[in-house]
Amino acid sequence: MSWSWSAALPVIFLGLMGLSMLAYVILDGYDLGVGLLLHRADDAQKDTMIASIGPFWDANETWLVLGVGILLIAFPTAHGIILGALYLPVALMLVGLILRGVAFDFRVKAQDTHKPRWNFAFFAGSGIAAISQGWMLGRYITGFAEGWGYEVFAGAIALLLPAAYVLLGAGWLIMKTDGALQAHAVRWAKMAWPPVVLGLGLISLATPVVSHTVREKWFSMPEFIALLPIPIMTLLALGAARVVLNSRSVAGKLCWLPFALVVGVFLLGAIGLAYSLFPYVVMDQLTIWQAASATESLAVIAVGCAVTVPAIVGYTIFSYRVFWGKAKSLSYA
């Protein structure tokens, strides 16, 4: 295919959509992980945990809106197929996100007798959203193929993703808190590390089994050699995270490193996933060029994205810069 403007635009929008979803998974992933860990802390620690994500969690979900919006307007045919196949888990994810939002606001105003219920609602909403996202990812990778093997594969990812979010959330708490809560976060990260490593290994073995397209891409030469650094670097990052968690420096100057290493694992996974899926926007069914809107429409959409995306990026960087540092207990005037 000659790389004309009409051929390049769908690739640009696919990259933008992929970056938006990756930003969402990492940024909202850590606060979903914090929500999943909420039930393990005492009341005072719960307040600090919520305070650590308070300035960010709502804005983090902007990336999900951006990614789905790009899918809708740039690849409308794929949007219909994907949302049609994932209608129920998408609905459950939205229920979980709504439950989290309601619980976040009500828990700080509730009476002491009612506060545990809102804490549980925040935990439950985080769990529902994380499991739903894992199931959707598993079904998407296999192109929504039918059969018990594909269902088992999606179920495995539905269990792995919450564990990965917990590891990411624990890394965030190590970086954002200190004292007893930071020590708890280190222990939580150590507990989440083995299932994440085991799950990644099993899913990496199962993915080429359930997808012929992925198998061809992974094990053809010289592609196999080119892809080999991804699993190697992933194992090194996970191993380094475990070493740092066992170090005393994790409570001091290296408190940021476990979170950074787990983010690196997510980035490497995204690179591998992008390579495995391209050029399909729906695996084995629809390429990005088949699913894309007309070139004229994409050109107009690109103008809007040129304004909105830098604004979202700028706001995100600004908010993290303003609210950086160790989290303090919640206080309301």
Query: Tens of pLDDT along 233-242?
Result: 999 999 999 9
Asked whether residue 137 is domain-assigned, the answer is yes
pLDDT at res. 329: 65
Q: Is the dihedral of CA 31, 36, 37, 41 positive or negative?
A: positive
3-state secondary structure 151-186: HHHHHHHHHHHHHHHHHHHHHHHHHHCCHHHHHHHH
Prediction pTM value: 0.92
Question: What was the pLDDT predicted at 221?
Answer: 79
Decide: helix, strand or coil at residue 129. Answer: helix
**Largest distance between two CA atoms of the chain:** 66
Number of domains in the chain: 1
User: Tokens standing for 202?
Assistant: 């099993």
Q: Is residue 27 a part of any domain in this protein?
A: yes
Range of the domain at 303: 20-322
pLDDT at 169: 96
Tokens, residue 224: 């196999």
Report yes or no on 330 lying in a domain. Answer: no
Does residue 11 lie within any of the structural domains?
Answer: no
Q: Which residues of 47-67 are buried (b: 16+ CB within 10 A; e: fewer)?
A: bbbbbbbbebbeebbbbbebb
Does residue 14 fall inside a structural domain? Answer: no
In this prediction, residue 166 carries a pLDDT of 96
What is the reported pLDDT for 330? 58
pLDDT, tens only, 245-254: 999 899 888 9
The pLDDT assigned to 15 comes to 92
What's the confidence (pLDDT) of residue 333? 46
Q: In Å, what is the CA distance from 27 to each residue of 133, 153, 172, 259?
A: 14, 25, 10, 11
pLDDT of 107: 80
Q: Is residue 333 part of a domain?
A: no
- Give the number of other CB atoms < 10 A from CB of residue 247: 14
- Look at residue 209 in the predicted model and tell me its pLDDT: 83
pLDDT reported for residue 331 = 55
Q: 228 has which bridge partners?
A: none
Task: Write out pLDDT tens, residues 13-50.
Answer: 999 999 999 999 999 999 999 999 998 888 888 889 99
* H helical segments located in 75-211: 76-85, 87-107, 115-141, 148-176, 179-210
Q: Examine residue 8 and state whether it is found in any structural domain, yes or no.
A: no
Residues of the chain with pLDDT below 50 are: 1, 332-333
Q: Is residue 175 domain-resident?
A: yes
Q: What is the pLDDT of residues 72-94, one digit of tens each?
A: 999 999 988 998 889 999 999 99
